[in-house]
């Protein structure tokens, strides 16, 4: 699994590289400290031809991770992105998934969760922790109460929300 790490803190990038180095099937090919650098490196590596996953922090200078995620979805729709943050899951997880991220992890996650998330998202799946799943369920739950939303309210969900709902 060929990974690019996008995070503005060097110590975080180094820690992530160390965690991922313990997984024999995961290789960090590049890193970037700003949003524009992430996009430059993805382009230089040929998108999905050279990468299997972008591990992306939400808060970065130049262009935040959410803006970078939107650009990656537009320019490289098949390139999986796993979002990282220090922000609570309830605050950003749903937003990231709706924007097309394959998963969301808090930076305080267990190293085993990090490796599992990288593997799952790189293989085309979605990965969220139990806390994130609860936040997503609560967000999707609001769709069930909408008048005229259809049987069980599922008709009003986006494609990505349907994917997440199936995981719950």
Higher-pLDDT residue of 101, 140 = 101
Among candidate residues 137, 132, 52, 144, the one with its CA nearest the CA of residue 91: 132
Distance CA 68, CA 145 (A): 33
Show Cβ contacts of residue 156 under 8 Å, excluding neighbours closer than 6 positions. 143, 146, 149, 150
Give 78 or 63, the one with higher predicted confidence.
78
This model's pTM is above 0.85:
no
**What average pLDDT does the segment 143-164 reach?**
53
Q: Which helix (H) or strand (E) holds 4?
A: strand 2-6
117: CB partners within 8 A, 6+ apart: 82, 103, 105, 109, 127
| Domain extent listing, the chain | 2-129
For residues 143 and 160, the model is more confident at 160
Model confidence pLDDT, tens digit, residues 87-128: 877 778 888 988 999 999 989 889 999 999 999 999 999 998
* pLDDT computed for residue 16 by the predictor: 97
- Domain 2-129 architecture: 3-Layer(aba) Sandwich (3.40)
Is 58 buried (19+), middle (13-18) or exposed (0-12) by CB count in 10 A?
buried
Specify the residue for token string 């009003």: 156
């Amino acid at each position: 699994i060929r990974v690019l790490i996008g995070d503005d803190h060097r110590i975080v990038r180094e820690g992530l590289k160390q965690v991922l180095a313990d997984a024999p099937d995961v290789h960090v090919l590049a890193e970037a400290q700003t949003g524009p650098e992430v996009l430059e490196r993805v382009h230089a590596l040929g998108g999905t031809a050279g990468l299997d996953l972008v591990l992306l922090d939400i808060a970065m200078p130049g262009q935040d991770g959410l803006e970078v995620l939107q650009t990656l979805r537009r320019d490289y729709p098949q390139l999986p992105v796993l979002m990282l943050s220090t922000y609570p899951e309830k605050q950003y997880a749903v937003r990231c998934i709706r924007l097309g991220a394959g998963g969301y992890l808090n930076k305080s996650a267990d190293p085993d969760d990090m490796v599992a998330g990288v593997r799952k998202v790189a293989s085309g799946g979605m990965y969220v922790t139990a806390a994130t799943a609860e936040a997503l369920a609560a967000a999707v739950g609001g769709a069930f109460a909408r008048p005229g939303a259809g049987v069980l309210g599922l008709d009003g969900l986006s494609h990505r929300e349907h994917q997440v709902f199936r995981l719950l």
